[in-house]
Chains A and B, each alone.
Chain A
């Protein structure tokens, strides 16, 4: 309770930091926050051109030419949010070492700032995506609301993983190095760029152990074919996410004293 009150007292700091980080990223650039949009847009165009046009990949059952682009966006934008939270999470204490060593403030506000910052970027891109769906006539209807619970599951998983890695990375710097590589494999082991049914059956079975696979597939279902997510599939990432949150919190509270000594 005391922790929550301290956090509430620092809401100004949290809000200010989120705003400042967003501003500082583009402060000295001419195009400013346009870069937030240009970056993912460039990636989507590259994948769309290569996979959809050059390789003539068509999603089974979807005929329009934008079907693949929507499929790709649904997966890669949400994966982007996941990757950003985990990436920031694992470096959160190292990046703020100076602040942690010199000033006494509620440390838990750092992960909150990181999540909020990733959230801001995501909202911008996602709004663009939604606009595109509306204008292009690909609006899937009320089923879009299904995104909210999926997003919550994904956030819990990402925060839990990020926190755990963040604490571990202070004591074992290998964790950060390793996870940079691991995330690349993880991206390609998740059906984002390709549809899962192009994989042979035994591998498809293995992919189901990937908690992000069911999350990403839920988004793709919503946006590409207008289906509500299969809630049963989300139980696995949700459980894993909660367990990771618990581990992360335990690690943090047990080692937060030692953490500053190690920075």
Chain B
């Protein structure tokens, strides 16, 4: 139960040169072809084990939605196969099939029936669906008076009323408010614990990294990469940057992490070090210690402007803090070839105990997307330990005092 296997999957749409070509093809005897195939997806193969969570990422038009349609069976593949075992719940578009003139309650029955449940089952699930959606008395009002958020709440509640063996989620979830997003992610996590296989499409880095065991990256209809969510997400991030003259390399480091380096290379990172207040290079930092991130860069060509930035990420790759010299109003202009620059970012390490990595970026403008000289993930890894502070949990240190009102 809960297996997904996709083999050599491909999808092509038929394109006819003129509107009459299809008619000609249909009425011409034999197997004459008057169309061209436009390939949207090709040679996609992967497998998901029961209880595993796979994230699918890619830019718009990379073929993510088509892939999900093929997997759920709403569209037929041109080549290859999809095999799934167990009950599948797909949320490609929440609120699909809601009839505006009927009440929420009636629509729940309709949506449930469309998912293959019987009226009896829905009747028994109704109280639970109602309480999860938290839309109050709106449940007995016509859906046309609902806000889009309310529709999403109700639709999600119906779709997940019964734990499926396989749950397929499109970006639809991002519609709800923060409260409901948390609630729905909690439910998805709970399902995962109970053994539900998850397939999720998202642009949301946090969602992918916190939910998934593995991720695949689609690019131009091909499977561009498969691996740890963090590594795939970093690669995707690098791909997003200006794609001209850009090289993306990934190196597996000693600790098994994957380092992604991308950029056009006009300016390169020479060295990255973490220093204590006496200027010594350190790897272990105590909570709250004052440190400097020391970065050396070299200009390989003449450039107009340079912004240097860094980002601290936690063990699972979530961004903890990041900024750059643009935001700190220290942009460097008109640098000539061969120029070497050293920059120090001084900050107190108000971080919780754990392992952190630092990504360093060199670009021309406020973000790395327009002109990316170099982006280096895992440029540095350091550990934070709690030596002299009271015990606390979390990735941030917020010095707290306590007082009671008397």
Q: Which residues of A contact B (CB under 8 A)?
A: 9-10, 12-13, 16-17, 20, 23-24, 27-28, 98-105, 171-172, 256-258, 260-261
A16-B109, A24-B99 known; A103 vs B14 contact (CB < 8 Å)? no
19 additional contacts, CB 8 Å, given A16-B109, A172-B22?
Answer: A9-B116, A10-B116, A16-B110, A16-B113, A17-B110, A20-B99, A20-B102, A20-B106, A20-B110, A23-B102, A99-B96, A99-B97, A102-B96, A103-B90, A105-B114, A172-B23, A258-B14, A258-B76, A260-B76
Instruction: Tell me the nearest residue of chain A to B76, going by C-beta.
Output: A257
Roughly how many angstroms separate A258 CA and B92 CA in the complex, as a whole number? Answer: 20
Output the nearest chain A residue to B112 by Cβ-Cβ distance: A12
List chain B residues, Cβ under 8 A from A257.
75-76
Q: Is B249 an interface residue (CB 8 A)?
A: no
Contacts of A12 in B (CB 8 A): 113, 117-119
Whether a CB of chain A sits under 8 angstroms from the CB of B237 is no
Q: Determine the distance from Cα of A193 to Cα of B214 in the docked complex, in whole angstroms.
A: 70
Q: How many angstroms between the C-alpha atoms of A98 and B92 in the bound complex?
A: 12
Compute how far the CA of A261 lies from the CA of B114 in the bound complex, rounded to whole angstroms: 21
Q: Which parts of B1-43 form the interface with A (CB within 8 Å)? A: 13-14, 22-23, 26
Given A9-B116, A261-B13, A261-B14, decide whether A101 and B74 contact each other with a Cβ distance below 8 A: yes
Fill in one digit per residue for B72-91: 1 if any A CB lies within 8 Å of its CB, else 0: 11111000000000000010
Interchain nearest-CB distance for A12 vs B (Å) = 5
* Residue B134 at the chain A interface, CB threshold 8 Å: no
Q: A20-B102, A24-B99, A102-B96 are in contact. Are A261 and B74 (CB under 8 A)?
A: no
Q: Which of A10, A100, A256 is in CB contact (< 8 Å) with B113?
A: A10
Taken together as a complex, chains A and B put the C-alpha atoms of A172 and B118 apart, in Å, by: 37
Which residues of chain A are within 8 angstroms of B93 by Cβ–Cβ distance? 102
**Residue positions of B touching A, CB distance < 8 A:** 13-14, 22-23, 26, 69, 72-76, 90, 92-93, 96-97, 99, 101-102, 106, 109-110, 113-114, 116-119
Closest to B20 in A: A172
Q: How far is the CA of A105 from the CA of B97 in the complex (A)?
A: 12
The 10 closest A-B pairs by CB, nearest first: A257-B76, A13-B113, A104-B73, A12-B113, A102-B96, A16-B113, A27-B101, A104-B74, A102-B93, A102-B92
Complex contact A13–B114 (CB within 8 A)? yes
A101, A102, A172 interface centre (most CB from chain B within 10 Å):
A102
Q: How far is the CB of A13 from chain B (nearest CB, A)?
A: 4
Given contacts A24-B99, A103-B96, contact A260 B75 (CB under 8 A): yes
Which of A13, A16, A28, A171 has the most chain B CB within a 10 Å cutoff?
A13
Q: Give Cα distance in the complex from A27 to B73, angstroms.
A: 34
Cα(A27)–Cα(B106), bound, Å: 13
Whether the Cβ atoms of B114 and A103 lie closer than 8 Å is: yes
When distances are taken between beta carbons in the complex, the residues of chain B under 8 Å from A102 are: 74, 92-93, 96-97
C-alpha spacing A112/B118, complex, angstroms: 18
- Name which of B26, B90, B97, B118 has the most chain A CB atoms within 10 A of its CB: B97
Partner of A24 from the list B75, B102, B117 (CB cut-off 8 Å) is B102
**Residues of B contacting A104 in the complex (Cβ-Cβ under 8 angstroms):** 72-74, 90
Q: Bound state CA distance, A250 and B101, in angstroms?
A: 36
How distant is the Cα of A261 from the Cα of B69 in the complex, in angstroms? 11
| Interfacial chain B residues near A258, Cβ < 8 Å | 14, 76
Q: Considering the chains assembled together, what is the distance between the CA atoms of A239 and B75 in angstroms?
A: 34
Contacts of B23 on A, CB cut-off 8 Å?
A: 172
A21 to chain B, nearest CB (A): 9
8 of the cross-chain contacts (CB-CB < 8 Å) are: A12-B117, A13-B116, A17-B113, A20-B99, A23-B102, A102-B96, A102-B97, A258-B14
| Complex contacts, A171 vs chain B, CB 8 Å | 22, 26
Please name all residues of chain B whose beta carbon is closer than 8 Å to the beta carbon of A261 when the two chains form the complex.
13-14, 75
Residues in chain A near residue B113, CB distance under 8 A: 10, 12-13, 16-17
Within 8 Å CB of A13, what residues of B?
110, 113-114, 116
| A17 vs B97: C-alpha distance when bound (angstroms) | 11
Question: B74: which A residues are within 8 A, CB to CB?
Answer: 100-104, 260
**B75: nearest residue on chain A (CB-CB)?**
A260
Contact present for B116 and A105 (CB under 8 Å):
yes
Which residues does chain B contribute within 8 Å of A27, judged by CB atoms? 101-102
What are the residues of chain A within 8 A of B114 when measuring CB–CB? Answer: 13, 99, 103, 105
C-alpha spacing A17/B99, complex, angstroms: 11
Q: When chains A and B are docked, how far (Å) is the Cα of A115 from the Cα of B189?
A: 43
Closest B residue, CB atoms, query A14: B113
Cα(A260)–Cα(B97), bound, Å: 17
